[in-house]
Amino acid sequence: MDLKKRVMAEKAKLTIDGETYELPVLESTFGDKAIDISSLRQRTGCVTLDYGYMNTGSCASAITYLDGKQGTLNYRGYPIETLAAECSFVEVSYLLINGCLPTENELRNFKGMMNKYALMHEDMVHFFDRFPAGSPPMSILSSMVNTLSAFYPEMINNPLEQIDKMAARLLSKVRTIAAFSYKKSLGQPLTYPRPDYSYCANFLNMMFDLPVSPYEVNPVIVNALDKLLILHADHEQNCSTSTVRLVGSAHVNLYASISAGISALWGPLHGGANQAVMDMLERIHLEGGNYKKYIDKAKDPNDSFRLVGFGHRVYKNHDPRSRILKKLCDEVLQTLNLSNPLLDLAKEIEEVALRDDYFVERHLYPNVDFYSGIIYKSIGIPNDMFTVMFALGRLPGWIAHWKEMWDDENWRIGRPRQLYIGPKQRRFVAIGDRKVCDERFS
Ligand code: CMC
């Protein structure tokens, strides 16, 4: 990735201890500027301090761009609205990983590879029997994905030569693992993948087919799932993607890097939020629908409660994914002739919050997780599988970022610096003489 042509004539000036240093400024495709501080420590002896990397760009990337102020998102230059309306999840996965939309032939080959690798090694299937009942599906998913590196080690040495195979294998196997983990949690027999089904139809069939009651594929549900996965497919350098890059930066294989990303996604501040939204809406509904109490709790500086599904590190405007999902939610419920009081509740909360000064001043809008759970629930996916669904959707993004990093000549092992604030030097006290606590800080 040649960044020389991004360097602007303008320089940033930094004065420390009376000395002024000039730092290069780089410009993105959309004109955003980044100050290149890679020579800072060498030249000044200083590092930067940036908790949560709020202002730190960790790489240059050509995959996804989101404008948090405008509330827009695009993958490889295509607006998310167009991709969600026109493409399947498999096409979008191909786009993210390979940089361009596939031709018919390329798409056929990609799907062919995915069908070829959809089955899981039978020995891996037995692993499911050993997880205790009630195991969190995200823990099963991250363990099983890491285990792929033991079953398919041939991919580890020449990753970029094998990337198409690894990507197809991961996309199809993670789908199978996700469905199997659900079946196992219910104690039901496994349904194996079917090559005659599309990606999403195959997943739904593996989830819900039973020998006594065969699953009937419903195109409305397949279409909703396709859209949900597309909307989650990538989102710049978010927590899980940065984890995949950081772990991968130590030359860790793709499966292990993705397994780490799955663990990062698990947290309620990231991918776990969609489950937390449903739990919150269900609780409010059960308590009689008094959402105002929860809005007040969210605003109370002495209460740690947050209105889950609201706010975003980057979007300070509507999250475009949330707008698409709100519409999709209505469409799905209407077409399936379902009603869900949680949708009405969610809409009321959104309306009230968007008029409330607390949320307006802090630019807190509904994010991707606010409506996705209601759709998942309506198509039969239980709450504890929501984050697994997020992982399934985010997978092509993680693969694309891992591949981009391997391909980038600027890539270095990730190793942030710190500001050390511990004691300078302490007097060692032998174990028998250690008595008082204040020794700890002497
Ligand atoms: N409810 C109430 N107050 C909030 C919320 C919320 N959901 N989110 C942020 N705030 C307040 C926060 O208390 C702070 O107020 P003050 O300035 O008075 O201290 C202010 O808004 C800024 O918040 P922040 O924590 O500094 O913002 P952040 O960028 O570090 O956090 C966030 C972003 C997504 C973690 C946060 O908005 C949050 O916890 N939201 C709820 C969890 C959630 O929905 N997560 C899913 C994120 S989207 C999925 C994804 O892309 O991973």
- Whether 402 lines ligand 1, by a CB cut-off of 6 Å, is no
- Whether the CB-CB separation of 173 and 148 falls below 8 Å is answered with yes
At residue 387, the pLDDT reads 93
At residue 156, the pLDDT reads 65
Amino acid of residue 218: N
At residue 108, the pLDDT reads 95
- Whether 307 lines ligand 1, by a CB cut-off of 6 Å, is yes
Torsion of CA 263, 265, 237, 225, to 10 degrees: 130
At residue 95, the pLDDT reads 98
- Whether 210 lines ligand 1, by a CB cut-off of 6 Å, is no
What span, in angstroms and rounded, lies between the C-alpha atoms of 137 and 140?
Answer: 5
At residue 284, the pLDDT reads 94
Could you please state the CATH topology (level 3) that the domain comprising 273-378 is classified under: Cytochrome p450-Terp; domain 2 (1.10.230)
How remote is the CA of residue 232 from the centroid of ligand 1, in Å?
19
pLDDT 10s digits, 234-277: 999 999 999 999 999 999 999 999 999 999 999 988 898 888 89
At residue 161, the pLDDT reads 75
How remote is the CA of residue 137 from the centroid of ligand 1, in Å?
25
Closest Cα to atom 20 of ligand 1: 362
Architecture in CATH for domain 79-269+395-406: Orthogonal Bundle (1.10)
Amino acid of residue 86: E
pTM for the full predicted model: 0.92
CATH class (in words) of the domain with range 3-67: mainly beta
Q: Please identify, by atom number, the ligand 1 atom nearest to the C-alpha of residue 239.
A: 52
What separation in angstroms does the CA of 45 have from each of 16, 34, 35?
10, 20, 17
What span, in angstroms and rounded, lies between the C-alpha atoms of 341 and 133?
Answer: 31
- Whether 180 lines ligand 1, by a CB cut-off of 6 Å, is no
At residue 303, the pLDDT reads 95
DSSP 3-state of 8: strand
Please choose from 64, 281, 313 the residue to mutate so as to test ligand 1's pocket, defined by most ligand atoms within 8 A of CB.
313
- Whether the CB-CB separation of 215 and 209 falls below 8 Å is answered with yes
Closest Cα to atom 15 of ligand 1: 362
Residue at token pair 């449903």: 278
**Domain spans of the chain, in order of start:** 3-67, 79-269+395-406, 273-378
What span, in angstroms and rounded, lies between the C-alpha atoms of 222 and 328?
Answer: 12
According to DSSP, residue 213 is labeled B
Q: What is the pLDDT along the chain (442 residues), one digit of tens a residue?
A: 889 999 999 999 999 999 999 999 999 999 999 999 999 999 999 999 999 999 999 999 999 999 999 999 999 999 999 999 999 999 999 999 999 999 999 999 999 999 998 888 888 888 888 888 888 889 999 999 999 989 888 666 667 778 888 899 999 999 999 999 899 888 889 999 999 999 999 999 999 999 999 999 999 999 999 999 999 999 999 999 999 999 999 999 999 999 999 999 999 888 988 888 999 999 999 999 899 999 999 999 999 999 999 999 889 999 999 999 999 998 999 988 888 899 899 999 999 999 999 999 999 999 999 999 899 989 999 988 999 999 999 999 999 999 999 999 999 999 999 999 999 999 898 888 887 665 554 4
- Whether 241 lines ligand 1, by a CB cut-off of 6 Å, is no
What span, in angstroms and rounded, lies between the C-alpha atoms of 29 and 57?
Answer: 15
How remote is the CA of residue 309 from the centroid of ligand 1, in Å?
9
Closest Cα to atom 38 of ligand 1: 311
What span, in angstroms and rounded, lies between the C-alpha atoms of 290 and 284?
Answer: 6
